[in-house]
Structure 1
């Protein structure tokens, strides 16, 4: 069942910026599949994509996306003051603000999202590995955590579904 949705300006911008930064819904759906396929025998990428799409309709998620991407872009252009510029450039391990923004996304679908996020953040499969590659000259200090959090939230949404709900779209 296809649902016609009117997207807010914020949602349109968040989705646009994800795409412009090289992240597709399919990339995130593959992360959801990575997290949930062992728990659902008949899970498909379409169902994963649907859950990602639903997560992206949440205003808290949209705000996190546009905030994080803007900080990454400013860092990439060297437009932040020191020492923040160096901290974001190097994705300093004790900085933590990037994870805090990601946790605001994870929190949308309950506590299971925290474990999903922690796991995928350590494993860095798929698009997360690419976003974490510092040799590209791009800065994705915030985006890699945001994408992992979206996948974790979509996985949590899926985990809260009953068996039959997984096979049908809302």
Structure 2
């Protein structure tokens, strides 16, 4: 049986630009760089800035860390945004919010997302899935942020006038919780390294 010649037309993601894909085993696959760029663009287009999320991280960690700066918080937000699982969650969640705004979801899903129905927990499930790689601290912090809804999370949750942020507010809570956990673990690692060096171990 002869092998069929490779054709770019018979590949995945045919609409993506060439520099956002690569060909492997006769499949056109999306590059990590393209996914990262798309996730960051999606957040920006929804009015979310790195600094907005970093403010939440700063407020969470300031009581426990002397010398904490916004720059450090922003660095950790960017660090978690580099994780593929989180990028995927952002793309899926924001796309569903956008489709709901255009009334393009089928019922009853359209109404569930549009109204952010109280018993509809898929938004939290997607956000929690993205939290899982950052440990239990991130999970408990996410639960706190989901209840309190500080700063941009609360603003997004209350935004009306045709806007749907059912998934977005939980995604921001997830990013902030992840960045907070990442920062806490890195600070502890640095402290332990200093102690080990000072004791000569």
Task: Please give the TM-score of this superposition, normalised by the length of structure 1.
Answer: 0.90
Which residue does 2:157 correspond to in 1?
132
Gap change, CA 1:16 and 1:161, over 3 Å in 2: same
Deviating more after overlay: 113-122 vs 142-151: 113-122
Which residue does 1:85 correspond to in 2?
110
- Offset of 1:106 from its aligned partner? 1.1
1:85-164 mapped onto 2 (5 Å cutoff): 85-162=110-187
CA deviations on 1:86-145 (whole Å, 9 max, x unpaired) are: 000111111100001000121121111111101111111111111101423200000000
SS in 2 for 1:38: helix
| Whole-angstrom distance in 1 between the partners of 2:37 and 2:160 | 30
How many residues get paired?
Answer: 161
Structure with bigger gyration radius: 2
The unaligned stretches of length 5 or more in structure 2 are 1-30, 192-201
- Offset of 1:7 from its aligned partner? 6.4
Which residue does 1:3 correspond to in 2?
none
What RMSD, in angstroms, separates the aligned Cα atoms of the two structures? 1.6
Check the 8 A contact 2:131/2:178 in 1, yes or no.
yes
Which residue does 2:70 correspond to in 1?
45
The unaligned stretches of length 5 or more in structure 1 are 1-5
| Whole-angstrom distance in 1 between the partners of 2:187 and 2:149 | 28
SS in 2 for 1:137: coil
* Matching of residue 11 in structure 1 with residue 18 in structure 2: no
| Whole-angstrom distance in 2 between the partners of 1:64 and 1:130 | 20
Deviating more after overlay: 154-163 vs 96-105: 154-163
SS in 1 for 2:64: coil
| Whole-angstrom distance in 2 between the partners of 1:75 and 1:132 | 15
| Whole-angstrom distance in 2 between the partners of 1:163 and 1:43 | 14
Task: Please give the TM-score of this superposition, normalised by the length of structure 2.
Answer: 0.77
- Offset of 1:162 from its aligned partner? 2.6
Check the 8 A contact 2:32/2:84 in 1, yes or no.
no
